[in-house]
Amino acid sequence: MTTRAVISARYSSDKQHDTSIEAQLAACRAYAQRKGYIIVNEYIDRAESGRFDDRPAYQQMIADAKKHLFDVVIFHKVDRNARNEYDYYFYKGQLRKNNIRIEYAEQSFDDTPEGQMMENMVVGMSAYYSRNLARETMKVLTLKANRAEFNGGTPPFGYSVKNKNYVINEEEVIAVRTIFEMFLQGAGYSAISDWLTAHGYKTRRGHYFGKNSLHDLLKNEKYIGVYMFNKVQRDYDGRRTVNTDSKKIIRHENALPAIIDAETFRRVQDTMDKRKNSGRQYHKHTATYLLTGLVTCSYCGCKMIGTKVKNGQYYYYRCNKKERHADAGKCPTPMIPKDDLEKLVLDEIWERLLNPKALPILITDINRQIDEQCSKNHKLIEQLDAEEKKLKKNLDRLYQNIYSDTFDEFDQEEMQRTKERLRIVREQIVSTGIQTETIAIPENMVRDVIADWSLAIKEKDLDRVQAMLQNVVSKVVVNPDYSVVIQLKIVCLELVPRTGIEPVRKFLSDGF
């Protein structure tokens, strides 16, 4: 009867690479051939530690063993199986219970007392090596943390890493500040997420922002310049837990370039605590600022944020510089009543987009913009393909340095940067490639969207209206002379007689 075999292989971090997987696979395949086994599957975990058992491919192998899909599992060596004694013998028992044998391509243990003793010694040595390596690694990480250097992992949204130090990511910093501003203005996680999605922002993992990711972002002290290390640790089972030993936590004030000022951060934390304690009752007394993140002061370029005066009786949009600086009196842009400004913008949208006469022109303009964007995306794909080839060529060169023993710490840093850039480029190729096919938007789809937006305004459904504004308004600029410029993302060009940027209307209300 033919013996069905599977191979389980892994490498633990970016300090190793795919070639280590290929070497393991080659040795295991050769072993299976010598034994006359038929390989029916290969389970590969990339950049997964053997200290813990939460490896996706490894767990899939255990699940398949329960289905009796193979007879023997082959590892390269013991340390490719596990470096934790408990996991090693627990899963060995699970496999034996299903009549699955464990064999090693480069090591051999029989069932004699001597063979079992040798296996126990090798497992113990592997566990010791792993724990000692973790201890030595912690020494290095602690040394870097004392210098407030980047210590691996993924930098928070809004930051990049340059020369081992955190630097502000200019493409993301606007979004971070807007998140804090919107939250202080009373926007919920859903509204903030809609704004981020509408503007093309995603988390570091490439997902859309949600409640959990926004909550963690608003709590992150790095945005006020605080460097923190070892606040979270792994327990014996590999689960992440909060470190309760404050003496082991490294904290440095003003060690990072701050994105958010301390006062804004404090106000956000106070607001989060109040929302947590008072629940829904808090939201009933909070005004919804429909234009959050969209209104800008033309004089100083700052965002205008929602504010209330006279114990919350009146609501305005006010230049953020007035809120943050003592000399804000130099900015002549006035506060604008919330309801007046929002009505002005909604009237403009109604006239330019929701007007039934605008529909056929709107469809033409949208499809024209889609064609133009697809053309740009085709050119971008070509540039990204060229960059991908260049990055892969550079990686090949660095791998050759490994084989020729000329690989040093500078090559290692360059390899890490190259891999990260290659990952980003490949993600951009995938996301951009989806948008290269020209698709005409059908009239009924546009008609349905327009009808839904119109209904939201009539029914005063603030959440839907706010989402609509974030999708169609580019920005609203308030001038010191009370005039307002509204720039829309989607507009019927033939219905706009004005050229350039001009105020669309002046406020004539008294009392500004």
Position 117 scores a pLDDT of 76
Residues 204 and 127 placed together within one structural domain of the fold: no
Nearest partner of 444 among 381, 363, 350, 348, judged by Cα: 363
Position 210 scores a pLDDT of 87
The larger pLDDT score, comparing residue 190 to residue 330, is at 190
Confidence of residue 184 (pLDDT cuts 50, 70, 90): confident
286, 321, 347 — which closes off a domain?
A: 286
Residues 172 and 112 placed together within one structural domain of the fold: no
| pLDDT greater than 90 at residue 69 | yes
Local structure of residue 337 (DSSP, 8 states): E
433, 459, 485 — which closes off a domain?
A: 433
Residues 36 and 158 placed together within one structural domain of the fold: no
Confidence of residue 341 (pLDDT cuts 50, 70, 90): very high
Whether residue 462 lies inside any domain: the answer is no
Confidence of residue 40 (pLDDT cuts 50, 70, 90): very high
Phi then psi for residue 174, to 5 deg, are: -65, -40
| pLDDT greater than 60 at residue 384 | yes
- For residue 95, give the CATH number of its domain: 3.40.50.1390
Residues 6+ apart with CB under 8 A from 318: 304, 305, 306, 307, 335, 336
What number is the average pLDDT over the span 26-46?
A: 91
Amino acid at the residue 91: Y
* Whole-number average pLDDT of the chain: 78
What number is the average pLDDT over the span 343-372?
A: 80
The larger pLDDT score, comparing residue 337 to residue 228, is at 337
Whether residue 84 lies inside any domain: the answer is yes
Position 196 scores a pLDDT of 92
Confidence of residue 119 (pLDDT cuts 50, 70, 90): confident
Whether residue 87 lies inside any domain: the answer is yes
Position 431 scores a pLDDT of 62
- For residue 239, give the CATH number of its domain: 3.90.1750.20
Lowest mean pLDDT among 242-246, 254-258, 320-324, 498-502: 498-502
Whether residue 19 lies inside any domain: the answer is yes
* E strand or H helix at 431: helix 409-433
Position 8 scores a pLDDT of 92
Q: pLDDT by residue (tens digit) across 125-155?
A: 766 666 666 677 667 777 777 777 777 778 8
The larger pLDDT score, comparing residue 11 to residue 207, is at 207
Domain that holds residue 412: 373-433
Residues 112 and 156 placed together within one structural domain of the fold: no
Position 437 scores a pLDDT of 55
Whether residue 479 lies inside any domain: the answer is no
Position 201 scores a pLDDT of 92
Residues 101 and 154 placed together within one structural domain of the fold: no
Q: DSSP for 440-484?
A: PPPHHHHHHHHHHHHHHHHHT-HHHHHHHHHHHEEEEEE-TTSEE
The larger pLDDT score, comparing residue 73 to residue 242, is at 73
Residue in the block written with tokens 């406020």: 507
Q: pLDDT by residue (tens digit) across 237-256?
A: 444 555 556 667 788 888 88
Whether residue 325 lies inside any domain: the answer is no
Q: 3-state DSSP call for residue 168?
A: strand
Whether residue 309 lies inside any domain: the answer is no
Position 429 scores a pLDDT of 77
b (16+ CB within 10 A) / e for 133-162 = eeeeeeeebeebbeebbbbeeebbbbbebe
Residues 21 and 93 placed together within one structural domain of the fold: yes
pLDDT > 90 fraction of the chain, expressed in percent and rounded: 22
Confidence of residue 48 (pLDDT cuts 50, 70, 90): low
Task: State the Cα–Cα distance between residues 137 and 234, nearest whole angstrom.
Answer: 14
What CA–CA distances, in Å, run from 183 to 189, 312, 322, 339? 8, 17, 18, 19
Amino acid at the residue 458: K
The larger pLDDT score, comparing residue 374 to residue 277, is at 374
Position 436 scores a pLDDT of 53
Residues 179 and 242 placed together within one structural domain of the fold: yes
Residues 184 and 111 placed together within one structural domain of the fold: no
Residues 9 and 128 placed together within one structural domain of the fold: yes
Confidence of residue 320 (pLDDT cuts 50, 70, 90): confident
Position 506 scores a pLDDT of 39
What number is the average pLDDT over the span 490-494?
A: 55
Residues 152 and 281 placed together within one structural domain of the fold: yes
The larger pLDDT score, comparing residue 319 to residue 54, is at 319
Whether residue 368 lies inside any domain: the answer is no
Position 344 scores a pLDDT of 92
Residues 155 and 77 placed together within one structural domain of the fold: no
Residues 229 and 270 placed together within one structural domain of the fold: yes
Domain count, the chain: 3
136, 161, 180 — which closes off a domain?
A: 136
Q: Which runs of E-coded beta strand occur in 132-229?
A: 159-162, 165-168, 227-229
